[in-house]
Copies of this chain bind each other. A is one copy, B any other.
Amino acid sequence: MNNHIQPVELAKTYRLLNHGPTVLVSAQHQNDRDVMSAAWACALELVPAKVSVVLDKSTYTRKLIEKSGYFVLQVPTLKQIKLVQALGSISKTDHPEKLENCHTPLFQFADYDLPMVEGCSAWIICELIPEPHNQLTHDLFIGKVIAAYADSRVFRDGHWYYHEVSDEWKSIHHVAGGHYYSIGDPVDANKT
């Protein structure tokens, strides 16, 4: 784990998702691990910090979350766009070697048996709040944030610094079919 990775105050976790990036969702049950891409992830509450993410019934990651009760939302960067697209395009159900075939670089935080993707800008570790109705009817999974980390080169002191680093750090925002937008310029509503 590189020493740029620093904890994020739980009450500031929403800021990691507030600008609507496409995320990577990780989960692990025993020694079985998966990572998938998801565009439908959102902050749900400030304190206690909660998030929501929509996970289709066909996804393998969802099954691991249902078994283990934990998941990670990660904010990938423009540099990882091919990885994000690949992890969102094939399923471990059909491709048991998905993570290896996609050359997914993983690491672990001490204390958590969860696979983290190297090179992301932020990692949000969540405990599933079991809600059978939401999961079955809406494919909606709600998590309580138990820890969050960010790469301090691009997020520190509760703020993104996309404008201070190279473009490869930018968040990516999927529209459809592999077409994304990177995040753009900072704009201050109080100054414009």
Contacts and interface: CB of A to CB of B under 8 A. Distances in A.
A122 interface: no
A187 B85 contact: no
Contacts of A4: none
B170 A184 contact: yes
Nearest to A142: B138
Interface residues of A, number: 51
A147 interface: no
Contacts of A85: 189-190
Copies in the assembly, this chain: 2
A188 B183 contact: no
Interface stretch (A42-50, A58-66, A113-121): A42-50
Contacts of A160: 175, 181
A40 B39 CA distance: 13
6 contacts: A19-B20, A20-B20, A133-B133, A179-B186, A181-B187, A183-B183
Interface of A: 15, 18-22, 39-45, 50, 52, 54, 78, 81-82, 84-85, 133-134, 138-140, 142, 158-160, 162, 170, 172-176, 178-190, 192
A-B pairs, 9 with minimum CB distance:
A20-B20, A184-B184, A85-B189, A19-B173, A178-B189, A182-B184, A42-B42, A180-B187, A178-B190
